[in-house]
Amino acid sequence: MIDIGANLTNSVFTDDMGDVLNRAKREGVQHVVVTGTNIRESLLAIGLAAEHATYLSATVGVHPHDADDVKPEWLDSLEGLTSSPHVVAVGEMGLDYYRNYSGRDAQRQVFEAQLDLAARVELPVFVHDRDTDGEVLAVLRRYAPTKCVVHCFTGNSDELDGFIEEDFYIGVTGWICDERRGEELRRIVDRIPIDRLLVETDAPYLLPPTMSKLIDTRRNEPAYLKFVTAELARCRRCPESVIRRASVENACRLFDIEVPV
């Protein structure tokens, strides 16, 4: 398994990072992509990936929540980070109209600037889309990135069809394990082409409900990725081995990384 999106720079992992990675390895996680959400976190993601070069990679980007806080030189700083050999994508970028922690105009400007950057440096884009009523898809259609993953997909069937039509990869998290919040995702997930399916934890967030009954913390971590692949197999009515193999092959193709399949 490859966890294509984990926020391992979050302070909740500071004291036991080694244990977190060892548990992930024991549970069959072959590689983890550490998500960058602003300039500081992107630097930290690169640092982690450099420290664990055979096991971790990094994305670098500015999350829509942080769009209001960028400094004038942010884009130059971000472009500099993309030259690291540990960086496999630009993002997390996109739009979030659910929380609206940043103004919508700022979100759009920062999103589009990163799409331009990704095209210049020829890296995939790692996209966040929440409650935007198709706006993220419209922007992506305009910029037409060569490689794109819509991370932590929680949208509806029309949105999914649009992303599939553009041949984008779709990231599925522990959201699918939630029978209430994930009801629609569970119903439509079998429409994702097997060669565009990716799995992720979004750790420390989105702890699968199954796991929350077994531990005393709400912290998610890469070791729990197995709950996502198991639930995907149930929803798609196929062997879990099919999900695991395909998602590893897809992640390697998207991010240009190599792990044993």
The residues, any chain, with a CB within 8 Å of residue 232's CB and separated by 6 or more, are 172, 176, 189, 197, 199, 240, 243
Number of neighbouring beta carbons within 10 Å of residue 71: 9
**pLDDT tens per residue, range 67-125:** 999 999 999 999 999 999 999 999 999 999 998 999 999 999 999 999 999 999 999 99
pTM: 0.97
**pLDDT tens per residue, range 121-152:** 999 999 999 999 999 999 999 999 999 999 99
The residues, any chain, with a CB within 8 Å of residue 115's CB and separated by 6 or more, are 93, 125, 139, 140, 143, 145
The H-assigned helical ranges of the chain are 17-26, 39-51, 74-81, 104-121, 135-143, 157-165, 183-188, 209-212, 225-236, 240-255
Structure tokens given for 214: 């077994």
Topology (CATH level 3) of domain 2-255: TIM Barrel (3.20.20)
In the chain, where are the structural domains located?
A: 2-255
